[in-house]
Structures are given as structure tokens and as C-alpha cells.
């Protein structure tokens, strides 16, 4: 089942089922154009993973990590399916990064790898929009990664059994494929990431782990339309504007 958070025509926030015919809630089916799709959770934090695909590390000229590289995005970075993300003004190098996102289902700490999937509510799509101009100049990547709208996510929350271990990950800009890879090319698996992260911090229900991007990252410019598609989840679509 694919679950979706949405705002209905009356303005109420609901959680329903995403089907081929529309969004189903309370015995009623809404057409997709009748509702506003919201991010699938309301996280207290987004924990992001850097360099989790060998070919992405290679394209950036960086070494493979011996443990997951972690950084944070705050809740203000969230954007939803169908949103227009405003990019920071005056920046020349802003890039897309398609990623599988893991949504946590319960408060957890010190989770063993063997138990990690017990705390996972589901998977969704995420675009780790990155402001390289500032990312290259700072250590903690606040300007580079944490600006408003820097984490479009959605459209649905798919249960892990719906997503193959080797699910395809694709990103298109204006219909052109930029990134095309698969989840089985990740260096660190979802259970490994959950175990490592919860060694250091408590994860809350709704928190998101962005599991890293494959090769093919590239520029975003004013007016671009972006689609992130993950097999078994669906397609997150959003656009960007730059003042």
C-alpha cells in the first residue's frame, strides 16, 4: 500500500491511499488535481548521507568513506510533490541529487542492524537540492544544504516490501534523464545506516534518512521541472525558480 498525506478540497489534512484512480480516504476517491499532496511525514530532522554510491564519489573526485558521512537538513528544507522550490538568489551552481528516503516509524535509539527494518515506516523519494557555491566554502554545509525547500520529498510512503532491493533510481530534468542507477549500488544499506545513526542520536517518528545519491548530479536553473522516480515508490515531481 502507498500512503499519502494530502490537503482535501475543504482544507483538512488527511492521510489516504494513493491508487491508480486517485486518492482514497473515508470511502471517497479524490482526483489528483483536487488535492494538494503534502510531504509524507513531518520530521524533526532529515539525516542525510554523503557519498553512498561509489560512482558519485568518483565523479566528484573524492575517496570512498569507511563509515557513513552524515549531515542534517532541518524541517524548513521540506518541500512537497508539485511544489515550486525557490533556489537561493545569486548562486551559479545549484545541483539536483535523487535519493531514496527512509521514513522512521517509531522513536528509536541504539538499533541493531538486524532490527533496523522494524523501525522503518516506509520509503519515499527525495531530491537533495545542493547549493555548491556555498557548500564548497563551509564545513557544516548550512548554506549549501539547509536552505528553505532544499529537500523536496514524496509523493507517497511505500512499504519496504514494495521496493525491490535493486530498485531503479532515476532523475529527469525537463524530461531528460540525468541520473539512472539502482539501490543495490549503495555502499551502506538502509539497516547499516539506521544502526549507525541511532548510535549517536534518537530518531523520532516521521524523521527522514536521505540515503545518498548516485552519479549524474547536475545543474538546476530557473524554470526547470524535476522528476525523481524510484521503482516501487513512484515519481516525485517539482519545479524550481531562481529570483
Phi (first) and psi of residue 222, to 5 degrees: -50, 125
Beta-carbon count within 10 A of 233 CB = 24
Per DSSP, 35 falls in state: S
* Among 100, 55, 91, 50, CA closest to 70: 50
pLDDT in tens, 95-115: 999 999 999 999 999 999 999
pLDDT in tens, 23-57: 999 999 999 999 999 999 999 999 999 999 999 99
How, if at all, do strands 46-50 and 208-210 pair?
parallel
Whole-prediction pTM: 0.97
Contacts of 111 (CB under 8 A, 6+ apart): 118, 119, 194, 195, 198
pLDDT in tens, 67-94: 999 999 999 999 999 999 999 999 999 9
Domains along the chain with CATH numbers:
1-38 (2.30.30), 40-241 (3.90.850.10)
The reported pLDDT for the residue numbered 208 is 99
pLDDT in tens, 131-189: 999 999 999 999 999 999 999 999 999 999 999 999 999 999 999 999 999 999 999 99
Amino acid at each position: 500500500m502507498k500512503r499519502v498525506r494530502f490537503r482535501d478540497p475543504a482544507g483538512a489534512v488527511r492521510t489516504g491511499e494513493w491508487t491508480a484512480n486517485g486518492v482514497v480516504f473515508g470511502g471517497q476517491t479524490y482526483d489528483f488535481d483536487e488535492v494538494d499532496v503534502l510531504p509524507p511525514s513531518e520530521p524533526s530532522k532529515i539525516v542525510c548521507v554523503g557519498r553512498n554510491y561509489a560512482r558519485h564519489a568518483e565523479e566528484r573526485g573524492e575517496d570512498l568513506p569507511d563509515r557513513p558521512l552524515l549531515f542534517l537538513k532541518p524541517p524548513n528544507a521540506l518541500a512537497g510533490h508539485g511544489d515550486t522550490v525557490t533556489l537561493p538568489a545569486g548562486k551559479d551552481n545549484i545541483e539536483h541529487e535523487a535519493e531514496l528516503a527512509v521514513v522512521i516509524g517509531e522513536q528509536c535509539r541504539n538499533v541493531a542492524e538486524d532490527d533496523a527494518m522494524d523501525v522503518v515506516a516506509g520509503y519515499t523519494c527525495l531530491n537533495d537540492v545542493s547549493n555548491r557555491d556555498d557548500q564548497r566554502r563551509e564545513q557544516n554545509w548550512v548554506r549549501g544544504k539547509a536552505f528553505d525547500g532544499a529537500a523536496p520529498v514524496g509523493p507517497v510512503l511505500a512499504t519496504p516490501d514494495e521496493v525491490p532491493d535493486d530498485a531503479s533510481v532515476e532523475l529527469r530534468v525537463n524530461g531528460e534523464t540525468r541520473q539512472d542507477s539502482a539501490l543495490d549500488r549503495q555502499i551502506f544499506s538502509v539497516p547499516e545506516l539506521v544502526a549507525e545513526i541511532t548510535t549517536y542520536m534518537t530518531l523520532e517518528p516521521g524523521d527522514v534518512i536521505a540515503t545518498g545519491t548516485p552519479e549524474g548530479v547536475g545543474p538546476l536553473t530557473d524554470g526547470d521541472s524535476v522528476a525523481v522516480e524510484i521503482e516501487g515508490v513512484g515519481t516525485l515531481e517539482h519545479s524550481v525558480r531562481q529570483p
